[in-house]
Amino acid sequence: MPKNLTNVKEDILAVTRQMIKETGYSELNIRNIAARCAVATGTVYNYYSSKNQIIAEILMNEWKLMLRRIDQNTKNTSQIIDKLEIIFNELNYFMINVHGKWFQDHPIENTEEMNVSKLNEKRVLLRNQISEKVLTLVNSCCDMQKSSPETLDICDIISHILISYSNESAGFAKIKPSLCALINQLTTTN
């Protein structure tokens, strides 16, 4: 009779996350993940075709968690610049402690399932999600009902700045004057 396994997918993700913290990406392989989960190697392959696919799901889960934290934390402040700082800090944490820590020395291999084109698609999708967050915050803080094309462009520029600088060691103070100028342009335009 086949063994009835529960929460295997969640176990695979949790174990992989822990293994990366302990030994890094280079030591990670499906066989070791299966052994730590106490399942057969084939069981892991029933859920994921490669370690890259597991990593991609972990990163997406961490990204979604970050977006939820942004939503929650921006509710507690009324100033748009403070809300942008929250986004910046969350992005900075994600880039340094999640994305950067895992792939600093061992980037994902360019395989059929994780090729450069797909990574670029994901990057654009994620950037658009941040741009939508910025637009929502701008609309709520500036009492705008409808976003003009200029507002959309400025929100996109703000999101680019937040993302670009969050990957560096520079703090929010470095980009704050530029963001304030863009916000002022929004309030005088609309």
The C-alpha atoms of residue 183 and residue 151 are separated, in whole angstroms, by: 10
107 pLDDT band, cuts 50/70/90, is: low
pLDDT tens-digit series, residues 172-188: 999 999 999 999 988 77
Task: Answer yes or no: are the C-beta atoms of 44 and 37 closer than 8 Å.
Answer: yes
pLDDT tens-digit series, residues 122-172: 778 888 999 999 998 888 877 666 678 888 999 999 999 999 898 777 789
Per-residue CA distances from 186 to 58, 142, 144, 148, 149 (Å): 36, 8, 10, 10, 11
Longest pairwise C-alpha distance within the chain: 71
- Name 66's Cβ contacts closer than 8 Å, sequence gap at least 6: 90, 91, 93, 94
Higher pLDDT, 13 or 99: 13
Write down the pTM of the prediction: 0.79
